[in-house]
Amino acid sequence: MIRIYTFALVRDVARGLVRDLRVRWALEEAGLPYEVKLIELGAGQADPEYRKLQPFGQVPAYEEDGVQLFESGAIVQHIAERCGTLLPTDPAGRARTITWMYAALCTIEPKVQNLTLLEVFHMEEEWAKLRRPAATFAVRRRLAELAERLGKNDYLADNRFTAADLLMTTVLRILRHGNLVAEQPALAAYQARCEARPAFRKALADQIAVYDEVQRGTETAGQ
């Protein structure tokens, strides 16, 4: 049985963005059953046994029949290798898809995360206010380039949904606190198209359900 590790509870601002969502989505697309192991922020991340599985104490982590993985991109690619719909089997299509998977994680996401840290987590700090215009410009430029490449296509690689679209959509979702994606109508439509997939809706609902259940339990215990 596949087991994935994720946080039991996170701040509201992070709900729907924690990277186990990528893994859940990929597993739903592939039709692979899995179970979830919850860890606590802080203490759970520091647990020596968990650090053997995830040396940086982050989530998600993945286990299956002796296979242990961390880093969401690596896990999604591992799942996609078993699912012809997420990763084409022909060499050229596979290469194109993997290229766009790395583009999502290495070209787009770092700019997006940098801006999010400034706008969400450090919004009141003076140094963040000074850096914000340049960070916004960097994201806006990357999104414009992405929209230009997408053009009138529905998806990034071979014009069909793949793991590249799965990862890129989860990156675009990080910008939900602003309107930068909406400035590019093609990207907004692309994100909506991907998020309309039943596998995504199921993955998101399952992630949120965990937080809601743990939150209820915490509140009940505190009464």
Residue with the bigger pLDDT between 218 and 139: it is 139
Q: Is the pLDDT of residue 169 over 60?
A: yes
End-to-end CA distance of the chain: give it in Å, rounded: 37
Q: Is the dihedral angle over the CA atoms 93, 99, 102, 104 positive or is it negative?
A: negative
Q: What is the average pLDDT value for the chain, to the nearest integer?
A: 94
Closest CA to 206 of 20, 2, 1, 60: 20
Confidence (pLDDT) at 222: 65
The CATH architecture that domain 2-84+199-221 belongs to is 3-Layer(aba) Sandwich (3.40)
CATH class for domain 91-197? mainly alpha
- Lateral strand order in the sheet of 2-7: 34-39, 2-7, 61-64, 67-70
**Interval 98-142: pLDDT, tens:** 999 999 999 999 999 999 999 888 878 899 899 999 999 999 999
Residues of the chain with CATH 1.20.1050.10: 91-197
What is the mean pLDDT of the segment spanning 169-181? 95
Where in 15-113 does DSSP place strands (E)? Answer: 34-39, 61-64, 67-70
**Interval 38-93: pLDDT, tens:** 999 999 999 999 999 999 999 999 999 999 999 999 999 999 999 888 999 999 99
Residues of the chain with CATH 3.40.30.10: 2-84+199-221
Percent of the chain predicted with pLDDT > 90: 84
